[in-house]
């Protein structure tokens, strides 16, 4: 690669990361608005139980990614339920969001990683 190509790649990656940060901030803001309005929002932490016990978003339920398909119906029986999923970095929550949409859930927000939530968490060290 030449220098121009490297610069373009770097600028493109910086733009992508900036866009993702803005997108996740908007999702967090929308979720907070839903919660503040008193509407029901099911917040699903798709990390392991150990990660969840370390810290988690207040009011969230822990359904590890590999169990989402079998357990989501217990906490969100209606396909139009408002859901927000998150994990540690965003990879597992993206997979969970795809799974939920394929299952027919119509209101799925993907927060990405727990660090995108700026409204406080429970637990932690």
pLDDT in tens, 15-27: 555 545 556 567 7
Higher pLDDT, 68 or 24: 68
Return phi, psi of residue 39, to 5°.
Answer: -70, 155
Beta-bridged to residue 43, according to DSSP, are: 84
pLDDT in tens, 22-60: 565 677 778 788 777 888 999 999 999 999 999 999 999
Mean pLDDT of 88-100: 95
pLDDT at 19: 46
pLDDT value at 2 more than 90 = no
Contact 119, 41 (CB under 8 A): no
pLDDT value at 119 more than 80 = yes
Higher pLDDT, 13 or 111: 111
DSSP three-state, residue 88: coil
User: Other CB atoms closer than 10 Å to residue 1's CB: what's the count?
Assistant: 8
CATH architecture of the domain with residue range 3-123: 3-Layer(aba) Sandwich (3.40)
pLDDT at 7: 75
Domain regions of the chain by residue span: 3-123
Sheet with 107-113, edge to edge strand ranges: 61-62, 42-45, 82-87, 107-113
């Amino acid at each position: 690669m030449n220098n121009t190509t490297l610069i373009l790649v770097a600028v493109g990656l910086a733009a992508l990361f900036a866009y993702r940060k803005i997108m996740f901030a908007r999702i967090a803001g929308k979720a907070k608005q839903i919660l503040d309005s008193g509407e029901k929002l099911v917040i699903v932490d798709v990390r392991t139980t150990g990660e969840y016990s370390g810290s988690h978003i207040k009011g969230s339920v822990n359904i590890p990614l590999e169990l989402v398909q079998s357990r989501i119906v217990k906490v969100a029986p209606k396909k139009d339920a408002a859901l927000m999923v998150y994990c540690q970095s965003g990879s597992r929550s993206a997979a969970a969001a795809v799974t939920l949409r394929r299952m027919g859930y119509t209101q799925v927000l993907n927060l990405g990683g727990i660090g995108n939530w700026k409204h406080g968490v429970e637990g932690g060290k």
